Amino acid sequence: MANFNTHLSVALAASAGAALTAINLHIITVTDAPWMIAFGAIGGMLPDIDSGHSTPIKLFFTVLGLVTLLTVIDIFKNRYSAHWLLLIAAVSYLVVRYVALAMFDRFTSHRGIFHSVLTAVFFCLLMVCIGCYLLRWDNLHSWLSGLFIGFGFIVHLLLDEIYSVDLSNKRMKKSFGTALKLYSYNNMTTTALMLVSTLGLAWITPQPQPIITAWQKQNTPKVSPVKAVKKSVQR
């Protein structure tokens, strides 16, 4: 399988290409591109959060702990004094960063449900909901962020499958088929939980109408000014 630096580099390159395509299609602007590339890179690291000693899982739970800390401060800032507020926030960070990470590592296995297309859809929809409901972004940018997360996720899975092919000896490694799959074939419990979570997100996710509209605009035949004048004269 590819290492962290390879996954990050390929995700950045693929996301940059996708962002340039979106710019050429007038779906995003140049100022949006760096954000979309960053989301693609994040998606490219997410599949490895099921590896207990990997860099992505440590970064993921560190960021999640910081988000929890800031959320706790925002919720309880008017209820407790400063020193109690800081203590509660610090405890919440430590619980998420270390306790939640340990539990997550215990109940997950590498290349399990987190190396599946189903989980890619889950993180895509999760990002859409975060962008729309928490960050208050418009639907178009929320969906674009989610799609880039999902795109980077799929790039990671494809890269792992490519590394499962030993071209020099012309053989398939034992890991072939474990990275890119629809769901976890060996653990139907985690598959069921992920499916229920994904369907729940799909229920509350805003409609992708802005993305559909932007795509339809690019596929609508454009009438030249001369033909437009001729049509108006004929009428």
pLDDT tens digits, one per residue of 94-131:
998 888 888 877 766 666 788 899 999 999 999 999 88
3-class SS of residue 117 = helix
pLDDT tens digits, one per residue of 167-176:
344 444 554 5
- Residue 63 corresponds to which amino acid? V
C-alpha neighbours within 13 Å on the C-beta side of residue 166: 8
Least-confidence region, from 21-25, 83-87, 95-99, 173-177: 173-177
Q: Give the helix ranges, DSSP H, for the chain.
A: 4-24, 33-45, 55-76, 82-94, 101-107, 117-129, 139-162, 188-204, 209-219, 225-234
Mean pLDDT over 159-186 rounds to 64
CB 185 within 8 A of CB 113: no
pLDDT top residue among 184 and 34: 34
**What's the pLDDT band for 40 if we cut at 50, 70, 90?**
very high
